[in-house]
């Protein structure tokens, strides 16, 4: 199994990518969330120059934030700096849109068209470019040969998908899939949900006339290796994994109807979330989107630690002992998982990388069942 590091594009993140590479990590994914993080392509360029092997890409970008030609140009530029080390991760959105006060996601058909257009452009093909509904023109990257040579250094497309429609897009146009396993419990049924998602992706690919027997697969949770006797809600565990565990509550603040889809473990904490967190913000309800995402994947806001329980932490994150985490990853690898990309607060990214390399990797299986491939750059 390969490991990756997810990044919020903070100053110096490129040095953390170099640190991850030195510890055997294979990928680095940069968010495209304009009002919450730095520019991904600027950080990718610096990370490319600071490293020699690790693959870098968007994780994720989405339709509406950037024009397809802009995205294709940016990816091609990074691919010229780091030939063959670039990937293109795209999705329907979520926090990147919520933080702008928009609906959570764009339609899956729009994601499919966007991913195709970007890929075709950086591959030197013509596309119908839509600046707006009244201006459609056939365009191509006129200087494609100047920016990159995709015959020698192709850029794979990884589609972020959890629901069936987005998974279908991954099968139609993707070379791989990035999943948060949003509809699974991290420790309970994640292998089964992942297996079903991968099967649906392959089925959709076959229905589309594509051969996709061995797609690249990425799961993007967070990890906190607990010390002997340490609780999943210890101050250290909350500081490491809590920012990701809070994401469902941030979404609820933007769309209260989401609570009806939640299990009791989350619904039972909404009163506390309202009292301890949301009541602190002196803004109208329809402006909460500007406040609740401030600590997105970086830190807990005041009051958020009181919301999280051990059950929620273990449903949303891989917070556990090294033995527990390694055993679970062995199960996931047998189901076809090839890359675990971890999110960590900037101040703790090197600690998480070191713990994975030093405590988890030595406990992983050294073989993979027949019919599956292993890209063991960390072993």
- Beta-bridge partners for 159: 90, 177
> What pLDDT band is residue 149 in, cutting at 50, 70 and 90?
low
CA 116 to chain centre: 20
User: Which pLDDT band holds residue 371 (cuts at 50, 70, 90)?
Assistant: very low
Residue 368 reports pLDDT greater than 50: no
Q: Is the pLDDT of residue 199 over 70?
A: yes
- What are the pLDDT digits (tens) for 38-61? 999 999 999 999 999 999 999 999
pLDDT score at 369: 43
The lowest-confidence range among 23-27, 173-177, 259-263, 328-332 is 259-263
The pTM (predicted TM-score) of the whole model is 0.93
What is the model's pLDDT at position 139?
86
Q: For residue 108, what are its two tokens? A: 């899956």
Beta strands 135-139 and 127-132: pairing type? antiparallel
Quick one: pLDDT at residue 65?
87
The whole-angstrom separation of Cα 202 and Cα 170 is 9
Domain with CATH 3.20.20.30 in the chain: 2-221+319-363
Which candidate, 346, 333, 302, 297, places its Cα nearest to that of 317? Answer: 297
Does position 23 have pLDDT exceeding 80, yes or no?
Answer: yes
- Gap between the Cα atoms of 46 and 13, Å rounded: 9
pLDDT for 376:
37
Q: What is the pLDDT of residue 64?
A: 87
Q: For the residues of 268-296, what is the DSSP string, one character each?
A: TTHHHHHHHTGGG--S-GGGGGGTTTTTT
Per-residue pLDDT at 151:
63
The correct CATH number of 2-221+319-363 out of 1.10.10.10, 3.40.640.10, 2.70.240.10, 3.20.20.30 is 3.20.20.30
Which band of pLDDT confidence, cut at 50, 70 and 90, is reported for residue 324?
very high
């Amino acid at each position: 199994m390969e490991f990756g590091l997810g990044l919020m594009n903070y100053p110096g993140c490129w040095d953390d990518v170099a640190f991850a590479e030195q510890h055997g990590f294979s990928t680095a994914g940069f968010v495209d969330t304009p009002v919450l993080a730095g520019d991904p392509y600027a950080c990718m360029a610096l990370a490319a120059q600071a490293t020699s092997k690790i693959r870098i890409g968007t994780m994720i970008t989405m339709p509406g934030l950037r024009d397809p030609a802009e995205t294709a140009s940016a990816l091609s530029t990074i691919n010229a700096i780091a030939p063959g080390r670039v990937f293109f991760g795209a999705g329907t959105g979520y926090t990147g849109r919520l933080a702008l006060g928009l609906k959570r996601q764009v339609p899956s058909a729009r994601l499919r068209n966007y991913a195709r257009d970007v890929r075709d452009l950086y591959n030197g093909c013509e596309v119908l470019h839509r600046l707006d509904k009244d201006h459609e023109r056939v365009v191509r990257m006129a200087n494609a040969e100047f920016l990159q040579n995709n015959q020698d250094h192709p850029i794979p497309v990884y589609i972020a998908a959890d629901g069936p429609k987005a998974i279908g897009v991954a099968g139609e146009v993707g070379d791989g899939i990035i999943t948060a396993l949003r509809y699974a419990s991290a420790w309970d049924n994640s292998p089964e949900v992942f297996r079903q998602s991968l099967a649906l992706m392959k089925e959709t690919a076959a229905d589309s006339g594509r051969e996709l027997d061995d797609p690249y697969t990425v799961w993007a949770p967070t990890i906190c290796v607990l010390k002997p006797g340490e609780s999943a809600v210890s101050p250290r565990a909350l500081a490491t994994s809590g920012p990701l565990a809070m994401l469902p509550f941030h979404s609820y603040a933007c769309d209260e109807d989401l609570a009806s889809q939640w299990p009791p473990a989350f619904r039972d904490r909404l009163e506390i979330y309202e009292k301890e967190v949301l009541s602190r913000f002196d803004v109208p309800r329809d402006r909460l989107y500007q406040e609740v995402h401030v600590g997105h994947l970086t830190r807990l806001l005041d009051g958020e630690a009181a919301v999280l329980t051990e059950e929620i932490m273990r449903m949303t994150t891989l917070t556990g002992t090294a033995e527990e985490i390694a055993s679970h990853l062995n199960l996931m690898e047998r189901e076809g998982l090839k890359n675990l990309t971890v999110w960590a607060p900037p101040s703790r990214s090197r600690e998480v990388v070191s713990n994975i390399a030093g405590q988890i990797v030595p406990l992983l299986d050294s073989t993979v069942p027949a019919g599956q491939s292993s890209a063991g750059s960390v072993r």
